[in-house]
Structure 1
Amino acid sequence: MRTAHKVWSGIAAGVFGLVAVTDLAGSSVPPAGAVASSSTLPAAAGAASPGAIPAAAPSVAPAVAGPAAVSASVIDVIDGDTFRLASGDEVRVLGIDSCEAATPGGQRATAAARARLLSAPVTLTAEPGVDRDRYGRMLRYVGAGGTDFASSMVTQDHTAIYTRGRNDASTAVQSTLRRLDTDGRTCGTAAPTTTPRTTTATRTPDADVDRPRTPRPVAPRTAPRAAAGSSGGSSVGGGYYANCSAARAAGAAPLRAGAPGYRAALDRDKDGVACE
């Protein structure tokens, strides 16, 4: 009886060992070179989707990038949301509205845009169905330094989400900008463009322009007198000449004011000398 018990105990132990080995073999790690199914791999925490560019800070939205993005160089910043490319095109940033350049807020926005856009090439991405505004400016999403330019600007008090008309940015972009725009815009008052009127200063006289005008002498009206007999001829009407030709023919020209035969009708330039 004791011998039979030992035999059966040995058989049971052998069966238990076989089952344990089989179970361990089924749960072993796949051999080297085997490819695990993607459905069995845990997703990496915070993994970015293909093609996405991570933001530089949690408060900044990812940069706009993709197959439609093109690289460009900025040569001039007009204000916080508008700039000029090397190609000559002007670009208006989609989704945002910076303070006007003449205001204190606009000066801060322009300085911030210059620091971001002039340091390196930017990427431009179009919104499907949107190209240019009524002024001919290109409407684009702008990436600068690996982040979305509009998202970085709208967090500042000089720039807000565009609300003064139709916002051509996508609904998703507008939602992101609205979440980041916590304080709107603080622009301030633009500096006056006109110079205040002041008392006219004393001007130094110009010798050529301001010289006094000297009136020309006016010949006194006298009764005509007979021409001198030594003149070599006689005048018509006792010293009256019908015209300068007659005065010259009589040898009396030129006729000066007060001289026989002078009259104002023959003195065209009224300088006191007729038939010059």
Structure 2
Amino acid sequence: MTNNKKLFASIILGFGAFILGACGNAASGDENTTVTLGVVGEDQDVWDFVSDKLADDGITLELVKFTDYAQPNNALAEGEIDLNSFQHQIFLDSYNADSGTDLTAIGNTVIAPLGVYSQNISSIEEIKDGDSIAIPNDVTNGGRALLLLQTAGLITVDPEAGSTPTVNDITENPLNLDIQELDAAQTARALPDVAASIINSGMAVDAGFVPTEDSIFLEPVDENSEPYINIIVAKSEDTENEVYQKIVEAYQSEDTKEIIEETSKGSSVPAW
């Protein structure tokens, strides 16, 4: 073999050894792993805390913040993010049915009670005939809002509608309330224009409210609350991903529970 041929063979063999070594390091988990997680809203103290914990295990958790509930599932389904955490099971089931997707819950996080808020009145009993009430316009949160109004004694909905009633399922409305359906991100902004608004907990916190202190009526947490437990969601093929399971484990810990209770002032309840 000529010197040139020997040199060429040495380069090829060396390059192959480098590739095998690099693959071995990745397979053994020596290299840092980055996971993108879609969330809704700016206030993400709990996930920031979990992210710091995961860094010790070589996992970089990057939060991708969305402004409304329509985006994170699309981004996950299209592979733009790895996981998301913003929704409950009913919302996910509705999305999968409408989109033909198979996104799957891999762990529970918290339940965040829905609240009724107002700039004009201080008690649910002050709502009067003909008042306007803003609710989210998506099927699951809108239905949940109507059930909350029923719990507050303001309307009655058809029980046949289950957990997702619409305004067409209202069977009794003794105060002739004007139910205004808005994008969930707009319900807080509508407060100057309505008697009261039903606002998702995360949106309420972003608007500066403490749900347990500032709402005029708060959704009870009881045996009927299970469908509204928030979840961490992945693509169906990733449900057994070891890194993703480590993220669930890091969230579902006692020290994370303490951060949830501290930062939410009781407005979010750990649910695992």
Q: What TM-score range do you get, normalising by the shorter chain?
A: under 0.3
More helix by share: 2
- Asked which structure has the greater RCO (Cα within 8 Å, sep 6+), the reply is 2
TM-score by length of 2: 0.22
Task: State the TM-score, normalizing by the size of structure 1.
Answer: 0.22
Q: Over alpha carbons, which structure has the higher Rg?
A: 1
